[in-house]
Structure 1
Amino acid sequence: MTEQNVDLGKNPRANRIPWPPLLLIASIAAGALATWVWPLPWPGINDGPAHGVGLGFGVAGIALIVWAIITLRKRGTTFLPDGTATSLVTSGPFARFRNPIYLGDALIVLSIAEITHSIWFVAAALLFGILVTALQIVPEERHLESQFGDAYLDYKSRTRRWI
Structure 2
Amino acid sequence: MTKTTTHVSPGRANTFPWPPVLFVAAIAAALAMSRLLPLPWPGLDDAPAHGIGLGFGVVGLVLIVLGFKALIDHRTTVLPDKVATTLVTSGPYRRFRNPIYLGEVLLLFAGAEITKSIWFVAAGLGFGVLITVLQIIPEERHLEAQFGDAYLDYKVRTRRWI
- Settle same-fold status: TM greater than 0.5: yes
Structure 1 position 72 matched with structure 2 position 71: yes
Partner of 2:23: 24
Query: Cα offset for 1:42?
Result: 0.7
Check whether the contact 1:60–1:107 (CA below 8 A) recurs between aligned residues.
yes
Counterpart of 2:123 in structure 1 is 124
Aligned counterparts, 1:12-161, within 5 A: 13-161=12-160
Output the CA distance in 2 between the equivalents of 1:35 and 1:137: 28
Query: Could you tell me which amino acid in structure 2 is paired with residue 10 of structure 1?
Result: P
Instruction: Specify the code of the residue in structure 1 equivalent to 2:27.
Output: I
Contact 1:8/1:86 (<8 A) preserved = no
Q: What amino acid is aligned across from residue 8 of structure 1 in structure 2? A: V
The root-mean-square deviation of aligned C-alpha atoms, in Å, is 0.8
Superposition misfits of 4+ residues, deviation over 3 angstroms: none
What is the rounded CA distance, in whole Å, between the counterparts of 2:56 and 2:92 in structure 1? Answer: 16
What percentage of residue pairs aligned between the two structures are identical?
Answer: 62
Partner-residue secondary structure (3-state), 2:3: strand
Tell me how far 1:8 sits from its aligned partner. Answer: 3.4
User: How far 1:49 moved relative to its partner?
Assistant: 1.7
Q: In structure 1, what residue type is equivalent to 2:50? A: H
Whether the 8 Å CA contact 1:60–1:104 is kept in 2: the answer is: yes
Q: Structure 2 length as normaliser, TM-score?
A: 0.98
Consecutive unaligned residues in structure 2, runs of 5 or more: none
Cα pair 2:56 2:106 within 8 Å, conserved: yes
1:53-95 superposed Cα distances (whole Å, 9 cap, x missing partner):
1111111111110001111111110111112100001111001
- Indicate the residue corresponding to 1:8 in structure 2: 8
SS at match of 2:154: helix
* AA matched with 1:97: F
C-alpha separation in 2, matches of 1:5 and 1:72: 15
Mapped to 1, the partners of 2:44 and 2:98 lie a distance apart of 30
Residue 9 of structure 1 and its aligned partner are, at CA, apart by 2.8
Q: Supply the distance in 1 between the matched residues of 2:126 and 2:138 (Cα, whole angstroms).
A: 18
TM-score of the aligned structures, taking structure 1 as reference length: 0.97
